[in-house]
Structure 1
Amino acid sequence: MSARFTPFEALEALVEKAGSQSALARALGVSQTAVWKWLQSSKRLPAEYVLKAEALYGVSRHDLRPDIYPRGYPPAPDARWTGVDRRAGASA
């Protein structure tokens, strides 16, 4: 069973799972005031904290930030991208 939340409901779920705004703030390395501001003004978790919050509390990234992590988007490949050096392999 997978509940789907709005971004604000997902943020509220994070606070509930953490136990308090202060506990969530400590876990994410921010101030309690920052968490309060997210709840009061932006109504969403900033992008840089989404993956850590998902790993810590199990609230889906798709619920926290559907604008960045839409459902049904293909997963990232297993291999990491290492960049392209167009000169690699060229004879000098």
Structure 2
Amino acid sequence: MIEIVERAAEKAGGVVTLARELGIKHTALYSWNRVPAERVLDIERLTGISRHELRPDVFGQPETAA
């Protein structure tokens, strides 16, 4: 399992809990090479991990305050 998914699972209360909240089987999380773009916003909502951290290739770097 990739590190960012491990962190998300920990924040959500475990792999099974995260998967249940996402409506998928927990074994699916182990096959991810990166977080699927369609799951990013749900994981962000559940865990508080920024979409920018979950998928910087899709959402870019977070804007910094000026």
**Bin of the TM-score, shorter chain as denominator length:** 0.7 to 0.9
Task: Tell me whether 1:59 sits opposite 2:45 in the alignment.
Answer: no
For structure 1, the 5+ residue unaligned runs are 1-7, 74-92
**Bigger Rg, structure 1 or 2:** 1
Q: Distance in 2 between matches of 1:19 and 1:55?
A: 14
Residues 62 and 69, structure 1, Cα contact 8 Å, conserved in 2: yes
> Which of the residues 18, 23, 48 maps onto 2:38?
48
Could you state the TM-score of these two structures normalised by the residue count of structure 1?
0.60
Q: Distance in 1 between matches of 2:41 and 2:60?
A: 14
Q: Distance in 1 between matches of 2:20 and 2:62?
A: 32
RMSD, aligned α-carbons: 1.5
Q: State, as a whole percentage, how many aligned pairs show the same letter.
A: 48
Q: Distance in 1 between matches of 2:40 and 2:8?
A: 10
Counterpart secondary structure, 2:6: helix
For structure 2, the 5+ residue unaligned runs are none
Superposed counterparts of 1:1-92, under 5 Å: 8-38=2-32, 42=33, 44-72=34-62
The number of residues matched between the two structures is 62
Residues 22 and 32, structure 1, Cα contact 8 Å, conserved in 2: yes
